[in-house]
Structure 1
Amino acid sequence: MIDPSAPVRRGEELDVAALERYLLAHLPEAQGPLVVEQFPGGFSNLTYLLRLGDRELVLRRPPFGAAIKSAHDMGREHRVLSRLYPVYRKVPRPLLYCEDESVIGAPFYVMERLHGVILRSHSPLLQQLSGEALRAIGVAAIENLAALHAIDYAAAGLGDLGKPEGYVRRQIEGWTKRYRAAQTDEVPALETLIAWLHAHMPAERSAALIHNDYKFDNLMLNPANLTEIIAVLDWEMCTIGDPLMDLGTTLGYWIEPNDPPALQSMLGLTTAPGNLSRREVVECYAAASGRTVDDPLFYYLYGLFKIAVIVQQIYARYRRGFTQDARFARLDIVVNACAQLAVAALEEGEISRLARR
C-alpha cells in the first residue's frame, strides 16, 4: 500500500557521486553510500527517493527543460515548508536547500521521507475499498482543505507569500498568458472558455493560504486509517489568495463517471461508486469552512482551464524535446477533454452529472 519508488527514468538521472558528496558535507550525521530511485507519479517537479546509508530522504528538483522558474522555485517551496511545518504538521519536514546548480544541474531541496498511502487512478487498492470508505476519504479530504484555509498564515510567517488583492484577475490573465506561451494547436473550445472566464470574474471575498494543486494524489493517508490525512504534498504552487479558487482547482481534478474518457484515464480516481459528486464537494466544503460558494460554476471552469494549461505546458515540453517521458506524448487529448467538459458545463449551467461529450 505504501507509495513505491522505481528506477530513475531515462533522461532524468542525477549525478549520484556529486550529490552524495554534497549530502555528506551538509547533513549532520549523514553516512553513505547513496542510492537514488524516483517516484514515478506526478507530472511537474521531479521527486526522488534517496537512500543514504540506512536513512531515507526525498529530493525535489525542477523538471528538465522547464522554462517557468516561478512555477519551479525550489527555494520558495523549501521556505514554505520550513515556516508551515511548526504550525501544520501535515507536511514533510524540510532538511536542506541547495541553490548551487553545479551539484545536480538545478536547485533542489531535501526533506524527510514519510510513509503512507497515496491513492492513484490505477491503484489496485481502489478495487478493495467500499463505496462508504471512498466517501469517507473524500469527506476527510475536503474537510482538510477547509482546515488548511483556516491556517493563520501571517502568524506562520507566510504573509509575504502572495498578494491577495486582485488575485482572481491575476490568475485568469496569468494562466491565459501561460497557455499562449505553451500553445501548440488550435483548441476552439478552450478559446470559448477563456473568453467566458475573462467576462465573468467574481468579486474576491477573503484571503487564505491556498495549496493550488489540492487533489488525492497530493495527499498521503495513514495505512491503518485511510480517512486520516498524514501529509499534504507538492507545495510548489501555494500562495495567499482566494480560497474558492483553490476549491475550483480541486473541483477540476474531481472527475465524475460521465466525464470524458481521457480525463477518467488520467484523473479518474473519483469516478468509483461511493465518491462525492462535485456538487457534494462544494456542499461539504461550505459546511466545513463556513464559506458561502455562490458561483461554483466559475470556480469549476477556472479549475478546468488551469489544469488544461498545466497539461499543455507539459505537452509542449515533450513536443519541444525537453523530456522523453512517454506519458506526455498524448497529453493534447487531455487538454481537449478539459475544454470540451468546460463547454458542456457552460451549456448546462451545472458542475455535476454532465452529459457525456
Structure 2
Amino acid sequence: MTRPETTPVRPGEQLPLEALREALRGRVPGDVDALQVEQFPGGFSNLTYLLRLGGTEYVLRRAPLGPVAPGAHDMAREAALLSRIHPVLPVAPRPVLVVEDETVLGRPFYLMERRRGVVVRTALPPEYVARPEAPAQLSAALIGTLADLHAVDIDAAGLRAIGRPEGFNARQVEGWSGRWRRARTALQGSGDLPDTLPDERVMAWLQAHTPTESAHTLVHNDFKLDNLMFDPQDPGRVTALLDWEMTTVGDPLVDLGLTLTYWTLPELPGGAPNRVGAAAPGFLGRDELVAHYEARLARHVTSSLPWYEVLGHFKLAVIVLQIFARYRAGQTQDPRFAPLAAQAAWLITEAQRRIDRVGPPAHG
C-alpha cells in the first residue's frame, strides 16, 4: 500500500485561501476557485504545501513562521536558482510562479511543478519492501545524484555568480559559528543546553584546520536521502531533488561531509530511529558510499574527508538548535521540535569525539 504524501495542514500553519486564490488568478493554469490545500509533513524548516486547482497541482514553498535571519529562507532566490539549474540538472523541479507580495501570505513564496515519487525517511517504504536489491539501489542513486550535481559545469551554465567560491570554506566556519552562538545566546538561562558542551573547541578546531577548496561546484548544502524522491517502480531512479534554499557554489566536499553525517547518524535523543542509512540492512556503508562518489567523478577524496564530516556534524547541530530556539520562543508550536536541543548537544559532542579520534586532518 502506498502511503499518502500529504496530510491536512498543521494547526497554525494554514494559508489564507481567499488571498491566495486572488494572487494566483490568471497567473497559472488551473481552476483557482477549486483551490484545495494540503501539507507535506516532512522537513523542519520551510513550509511546503500541495495546491490542487481542479485537475492541476503545484507545490508551494514559503519561509517558516516567525522571525527569520536576514537573507535566510529567500524563496525568490530559491526559485531563481531552480530556473537556472533545472535545464542542466533535470532532477531539480521547474519553478512556475514567484509571488513577492508579502501581503498575501506574510512572506514571499513560489510555486513549482509537482513531482511524484517515494520519499524515504526512517524505514524502507512499502513499495520497496519486497525488493531485496532496493536498499543498495537507493544508496547508489543517492550518491550518484550528488556526484551529478557536483559535475554540473557552473561556468557553462552561468551559475558561478550565484556565490563566491573562493574562501568558501572559511566563510562556512565563520557563518555557522556565528549562527550557533546567536542561537545559544537566545537560549541562555533556559537550561536546555548543558554548560559543558565542547562547542567552542569544535569551532576553534574547524577554524584552525580550514582547508582551501578542493574544487568549485554547485553545493546543495542540505543533501540527504529524504530530500530526494524516487520512482516507486525503480528505487534506482531519482525523480526529484528538493529543498534548494541554501544552494550556492563552493567546495563539493562540504556537501559530501554533510551527506555522510546524515547517513551515519544513530537514533538521536527524542528522534525517530534512523533505520535508513549506513547501519540499515542492505544499504551501502559509509566507505562504500564514498567509493561510489569517487568512481562517479574519477576523483580521490577519502583522505580529505574528516574535516568535512566534523563540519557536517557542526552544521546540523546549528540547524536543529536554530529551529529549537524558534520553538522555545513560541514562534512555532510544532511538537516535533521539542527534542531538538538535546539532539544539537549530541551532535556537538559527536563532532568533538571525531576530532579526538582523527587529530589534525591530512591537509592541516
Match status 1:262 vs 2:272: no
Structure 1 equivalent of residue 333 of structure 2: 324
Match of 2:355 among 338, 343, 346: 346
> Over aligned residues, Cα RMSD in angstroms?
2.0
The aligned length equals 348
1:263 shift after superposition? 8.5
Instruction: Show the counterpart of 1:111.
Output: 112
Q: Distance in 1 between matches of 2:114 and 2:69?
A: 27
Q: CA deviation at 1:208?
A: 0.2
Label 1:25 to 1:267 Cα distance change in 2 as closer, same or farther (>3 A).
farther
Partner of 2:292: 284
Contact 1:315 1:331 in 2 (8 A): yes
Which among 305, 325, 333 is matched to residue 342 of structure 2? 333
Match of 1:99 in 2: 100
Q: Work out the CA distance in 1 between the residues paired with 2:127 and 2:219.
A: 28
**TM-score (norm. length: structure 2):** 0.90
Q: Classify the secondary structure of the residue corresponding to 2:229.
A: strand
What amino acid sits opposite 2:329 in the alignment?
A: R
User: Structure 2 residue aligned with 1:295, among 289, 299, 304?
Assistant: 304
In 2: Cα distance, 1:126 partner to 1:190 partner = 41
Deviations 1:90-136 (A, max 9, x none): 12111000000011111000011111001011455398266642122
Question: Given the superposition, is the C-alpha separation of residues 190 and 281 from structure 1 closer, same or farther in structure 2, using an over 3 Å criterion?
Answer: farther
Distance 1:77 1:161 in 2: 11
Moved >6 Å (runs of 4+): none
Greater shift in the superposed pair: 266-275 or 4-13: 266-275
Q: Distance in 1 between matches of 2:145 and 2:162?
A: 21
Structure 1, residues 64-101: CA drift from partner, whole Å, max 9, x if none? 01422422000110001111112211121110000000
The residue aligned with 1:231 is: 240
8 Å CA contact retained: 2:128, 2:134: no
SS of aligned partner of 1:155: coil
AA in 2 matched with 1:279: D
**Structure 2 unaligned spans of 5+:** 188-192, 360-364
Write the deviation string for residues 141-166 of structure 1: whole angstroms up to 9, x where unpaired. Answer: 11211111011222223221100000
For 2:270 and 2:350, locate their aligned partners in 1 and report how far apart those are by CA, in whole Å. Answer: 9
Whole-Å separation in 2 of the counterparts to 1:288 and 1:193: 32
Name the residue aligned to 1:241. Answer: 250
**1:42-67: CA deviation from partner (whole Å, max 9, x where unpaired):** 01111001011221110000000142
102-111 or 264-273: which moved more?
264-273
Residue of structure 2 in register with 1:353 after alignment: none
With over 3 angstroms needed to count, the CA separation of the structure-2 counterparts of 1:23 and 1:128, relative to structure 1, is same
Report the alpha carbon displacement of residue 246 of structure 1 after superposing the two structures with TM: 1.0
Q: Distance in 1 between matches of 2:296 and 2:54?
A: 44
Moved more, 146-155 or 112-121: 146-155
CA offsets, 1:225-254, max 9 Å, x none?
A: 011111110100100001111111111111
How far 1:277 sits from its partner (Å)?
2.1
Q: 1:29 to 1:35 in 2, by over 3 A?
A: closer
Q: Does 1:198 align with 2:199?
A: no
Counterpart residue identity of residue 291, structure 2:
E
Cα distance in structure 2, aligned partners of 1:321 and 1:202: 39
Aligned pairs (5 A) from 1:13-28:
13-28=14-29
Q: Which moved more, 1:108-117 or 1:127-136?
A: 127-136
Give how far 1:168 is off. 0.3
**Contact 1:35/1:52 (<8 A) preserved:** yes
Match of 1:32 in 2: 33
Counterpart CA distance in 2 for 1:221 and 1:143 is: 13
| Contact 1:164–1:242 under 8 Å retained in 2 | yes
CA shift in 2, pair 1:151/1:127, >3 Å: closer
Identify the residue that residue 78 of structure 1 maps to in structure 2.
79
Q: TM-score, normalised by structure 1?
A: 0.92
CA positional deviation for 1:260: 5.2
Conservation of the 8 A alpha-carbon contact between 1:44 and 1:63: yes
Match for 2:345: what amino acid? N
Q: 2:136 aligns to what?
A: 135
Task: Quote the residue 1:11 is aligned against.
Answer: 12
Counterpart in the other structure of 2:47 = 46
Conservation of the 8 A alpha-carbon contact between 2:60 and 2:111? yes
Q: Quick one: distance in 2 between partners of 1:343 and 1:135? A: 31
